[in-house]
Structure 1
Amino acid sequence: MSWLRPQDVVEKALAASTADAQVTYVVESSEANLRWAGNSLTTNGSMRSRQVVVISFVDGGAGMATGTVARTGSPDVAELVAASEQAARDAGPAEDAVPLVAEPPPGAGEWDADAAETSIGVFTDVAPALAEAFGEARGREELLFGYAEHAMATTYLGTSTGLRLRHDQPAGRVELNGKSADMSRSVWAGVGTRDFADVSVADLAGEVARKLAWSRRRVELPAARYETLLPPSAISDLMIYAYWTMEARDADEGRNVYAKAGGGNRVGERLAALPLTLRSDPFAPGLEACPFQVVGGSSGSASVFDNGMATPAVDWISGGVLTNLIRPRAWALNTTAPATAAVDNLLLESPGATATQDEMVAATERGLLLTTLWYIREVDPQTLLLTGLTRDGVFLVEGGEVTGAVNNFRFNESPVDLLGRITEAGRTERTLPREWSDWFTRAAMPTVRVPDFNMSSVSPAS
């Protein structure tokens, strides 16, 4: 078929339906990137793509069943709809069946507008700033590696209940690695952005240069529990995992860390010693995310029946107390608790906190300052014990100053347990989660102080 407008694809799919109900959405995407290595730009490129998803709902008498089929490019819409309906007929009744959403959420975009696009032009100010940073790095006999990426995804969602919803989602990031000429020292800085207007390559390069200077002195330390400052990127990776596992059903059925001993969940229980708030808000400035659900397949945290459901701001932890869990409408009906949708951003805040990372370092008699974490894996869902490695700079702080770099470690920590042991949180700032940046770039976190972070073994990783 010809390349239809995404809105027309949605309308054509809905018109072709013979099922009891249907949800169709089209995601129109464009991407641009720059990559560099050894103080030189190496590649740049751009691409465009389209995904079409049809979800059919068929009541075969035993209950409503669903079938989802997705295609990329310009598929035959009639074939796609037929395949989705056959998948629904072949499936058993869905346990999360509820009536489809019919009430439009606030904040839905203009349906008839064209899809937003990005291009290589988004890097107009980035490329010359990189050239300057490369020259400065060469002067210090250091090497810069990294990339900048920007994506724009426009989603058009239509349903047989009459919803016609549209959302533009920009997402960008810059990651900058600095290495010594002999590759023995490696550090990192990164930032997430919507449009690159707020990205300072000079600031990132300055951060890398400072960390490389710190790392000229090497100190070997054994595995132990250390007072540790986790910068925004590191704590964001841990808090995102805590957020991803906030499924109410798993908690209610005793399968995750938010389950209460003896039954039920821990909503209302204090998790953090400080009055910390962990929240999501689709309209948070600089972290704007889709204000409605777009779901291709049901899980414990989302349901295809909830497509188009509003995703308003929500406090997951408020004043240190667990306040909400992620709860699709079907599970909410089972438990009489309110339905609560996940939002694609996350903020951790400490009321009134103003301390910068440098000020927190200055207040540290002896401890560690991390850069990032990586290779994070779950060990025990009941406690949310995670393991992973430190990466690209672990620094020793003595007498309020960074005095050198130490070896990397493997850590073992539960982010939920960690909340109860944080003794200080600084000011919240936008950050780039290093481990999860392929999936989650919209986060704002403070630097936090933990008096006894568990470095369980020494790691040979550089």
Structure 2
Amino acid sequence: MPQLASPQEIVEAALAAATTDGTVVIVTDRSEANLRWASNSLTTNGEMGSRTVTVISTVAAGDGAASGVVGRTVAHLADVRSLVEAAESAARDSEPATDAAPLVRPDQAGAGTDYGLEPEPTSIGAFDGLAHDLGDVMRAGGSGRRHFGFAEHVVDTTYLGSSTGLRLRHVQPTGRLEMNAKNADWSASSYLGFSLRDPSEADVHSADVELTKRLAWAQRSIDLPAGRYETILPPTCLADLLIYASWLAGAKAADEGRSAYSRRGGGARIGERLATLPLDVYSDPGREGIQCAPFTITAASSSDASVFDNGLPLGRQDWIRGGELVSLGGTRAYAATSAAAGHHTPVRLASDNLVVEAPDASGGLDDLVASTRRGLLLSTMWYIRLVDPQSLLLTGLTRDGVYLVEDGEVLGAVTNFRWNESPLDVLQRITEVGETQRCYPREWGDDFTRTAMPPVRVADFNMSSTSRAR
């Protein structure tokens, strides 16, 4: 059996085999470990490793260029040539790309970690402390609580090389801890999720205290009809709403009048006040706790991302500043096209995280509860779907606990609801903001993990109907 090739060898072999005008090679080695538990017992654990290789070939086409992208699992050098040939064939068969731009040169690129280093691994041993603490809380709960959950740690080491001379490397750790507790008769459920760069950051004991407190709240059940309620959104719920808002925050769609960011009469809503309070919404690869790649890595083009932009540097990108929309997402090619067409839309490259914060914000979720005269406290959202892209109207369900708060005290649990809201409307109705903290977006955690959000108070949140979901 041929020896497993290193990522650097794969990159060099692919570039050596290339015959088209330009080539970009992305190799990602993934190391994974996970734990699962159910009914107070660890059920499974495992380690996995994988590698994906993507070759992007470009050829001259008309006044621009066409691209072909092919990715698959490649472990040995003997498999590289066929991958390159497939990408080049796809490029020659493609129409000119609307996102075409010169491939990034080393002097234009962002900074990577030491390209010559090997991929970084994780292992089941990363969960030693977490597993020990889980055992403690399971024993302490006895027969009165049932614990369920999942912990995962993934380390992606990505190597990016190109025919222009790029040689970049980035190591991305991504972890999560999801804990669910149910009472003895399963009539109530509470849930907490955490985003972790390393499992050693988990505070299982504190999480168990909070889960237990929420189960106690649920001992009293209160009937409450659908309607509009003052609602406290924890950071995870705000993240789920604004991630969707960020996914649809493309400059091209806005300029063409096809999105909620389009201005009546034409163009984008740049300069409009989207949030009543002076909120900042931004991406920042260097944000502590949610660090991500400081350069563009993309294996597919879309209206707001381009394979031609691989390697471009990423810094802090402000989307909303002081409550006002200041920029939208897009590619280098669209930024040039937009400027030539007379659009006045600042176009920025987005990085793989999202932050919301307000100046001088203080306090946490408990402080918002303590100052509530009457309102609802949510735990999480799920099954979020887009209803209307023009208004960014979303619908979804609450899950794992909705609580009625009166005069600063939680009185008990109410039914779950279906809700209908636009994140942009929610931004207009936020009346109070707590301190920003790293959080795990429950609905989108499989795709978008790195967020930092505050808890917020929202006036008249639309609970459109009741739900049987727990």
Give the Cα–Cα distance (whole angstroms) in 2 for the partners of residues 17 and 277 of structure 1. 45
User: How far did residue 131 of structure 1 move?
Assistant: 0.2
Q: Which residue of 2 aligns with 1:278?
A: 281
User: What TM-score comes out, normalization by structure 1 length?
Assistant: 0.98
Q: Which runs of 4+ in 1 moved over 6 A?
A: none
Q: Is the 8 A contact 2:328 2:346 kept in 1?
A: no
Aligned residue identity for 1:97: A
* 2:465 counterpart of 1:461: no
Q: Which residue of 2 aligns with 1:45?
A: 46
Q: Which residue of 2 aligns with 1:410?
A: 418
Q: Is the 8 A contact 1:430 1:445 kept in 2?
A: yes
Q: Which residue of 1 aligns with 2:204?
A: 201
Identity over aligned pairs, percent: 54
* 2:127 counterpart of 1:126: no
Matches within 5 A, 1:44-443: 44-61=45-62, 63-74=64-75, 76-102=79-105, 103-138=107-142, 141-336=144-339, 338-443=346-451
Q: Is the 8 A contact 2:110 2:314 kept in 1?
A: no
User: How far did residue 295 of structure 1 move?
Assistant: 1.2
Give the Cα–Cα distance (whole angstroms) in 2 for the partners of residues 105 and 123 of structure 1. 36
* 2:37 counterpart of 1:36: yes
Give the Cα–Cα distance (whole angstroms) in 1 for the partners of residues 381 and 74 of structure 2. 36
Per-residue CA deviations over 1:88-128 (Å, capped at 9, x if unaligned) read: 11111111111111135343111101111111111111011
Q: Is the 8 A contact 1:190 1:204 kept in 2?
A: no
Per-residue CA deviations over 1:204-247 (Å, capped at 9, x if unaligned) read: 11111111011000011111000100000111100111111110
Give the Cα–Cα distance (whole angstroms) in 1 for the partners of residues 64 and 246 of structure 2. 32
Give the Cα–Cα distance (whole angstroms) in 2 for the partners of residues 438 and 166 of structure 1. 23
Q: Is the 8 A contact 2:11 2:26 kept in 1?
A: yes
Give the Cα–Cα distance (whole angstroms) in 1 for the partners of residues 192 and 278 of structure 2. 29
- Change in 2 beyond 3 A, CA 1:451/1:61: closer
Q: Secondary structure at the match of 1:262?
A: coil
Aligned residue identity for 2:139: G
Give structure 1 stretches of 5+ with no counterpart: none
Number of residue pairs matched by the alignment: 461
Q: Secondary structure at the match of 2:400?
A: strand
* 2:12 counterpart of 1:11: yes
Give the Cα–Cα distance (whole angstroms) in 2 for the partners of residues 335 and 344 of structure 1. 24
Give the Cα–Cα distance (whole angstroms) in 2 for the partners of residues 350 and 123 of structure 1. 35
Q: Is the 8 A contact 1:421 1:450 kept in 2?
A: yes
Give structure 2 stretches of 5+ with no counterpart: 340-344
Aligned residue identity for 2:191: W
Q: Which residue of 1 aligns with 2:342?
A: none
Q: Is the 8 A contact 1:104 1:163 kept in 2?
A: no
Give the Cα–Cα distance (whole angstroms) in 1 for the partners of residues 259 and 415 of structure 2. 33
Give the Cα–Cα distance (whole angstroms) in 2 for the partners of residues 409 and 216 of structure 1. 19
Q: Is the 8 A contact 1:425 1:448 kept in 2?
A: yes
User: How far did residue 427 of structure 1 move?
Assistant: 0.7
Give the Cα–Cα distance (whole angstroms) in 2 for the partners of residues 296 and 438 of structure 1. 18
RMSD: 1.1
Q: Is the 8 A contact 1:228 1:368 kept in 2?
A: yes
Q: Secondary structure at the match of 2:29?
A: strand
Q: Secondary structure at the match of 1:219?
A: coil
Give the Cα–Cα distance (whole angstroms) in 2 for the partners of residues 300 and 198 of structure 1. 37
User: How far did residue 180 of structure 1 move?
Assistant: 1.3
Give the Cα–Cα distance (whole angstroms) in 2 for the partners of residues 107 and 217 of structure 1. 55
Give the Cα–Cα distance (whole angstroms) in 1 for the partners of residues 468 and 272 of structure 2. 39
Give the Cα–Cα distance (whole angstroms) in 2 for the partners of residues 325 and 5 of structure 1. 38
User: How far did residue 41 of structure 1 move?
Assistant: 0.6
Q: Is the 8 A contact 2:282 2:318 kept in 1?
A: yes
Give the Cα–Cα distance (whole angstroms) in 1 for the partners of residues 452 and 369 of structure 2. 20
User: How far did residue 197 of structure 1 move?
Assistant: 2.7
Q: Secondary structure at the match of 2:100?
A: coil
User: What TM-score comes out, normalization by structure 2 length?
Assistant: 0.96
Give the Cα–Cα distance (whole angstroms) in 2 for the partners of residues 78 and 233 of structure 1. 45
Per-residue CA deviations over 1:249-301 (Å, capped at 9, x if unaligned) read: 00000111101111000111110000000111000011100111111111011
Aligned residue identity for 1:122: A
Aligned residue identity for 2:53: V
Q: Which residue of 2 aligns with 1:450?
A: 458
Give the Cα–Cα distance (whole angstroms) in 2 for the partners of residues 273 and 202 of structure 1. 38
Give the Cα–Cα distance (whole angstroms) in 2 for the partners of residues 362 and 339 of structure 1. 41
Q: Is the 8 A contact 2:156 2:173 kept in 1?
A: yes
- Change in 2 beyond 3 A, CA 1:357/1:186: same
Q: Is the 8 A contact 1:157 1:164 kept in 2?
A: yes
Give the Cα–Cα distance (whole angstroms) in 2 for the partners of residues 2 and 333 of structure 1. 46
User: How far did residue 161 of structure 1 move?
Assistant: 0.9
Q: Is the 8 A contact 2:182 2:190 kept in 1?
A: yes
Q: Secondary structure at the match of 1:91?
A: coil
Per-residue CA deviations over 1:362-383 (Å, capped at 9, x if unaligned) read: 1001100000000000000010
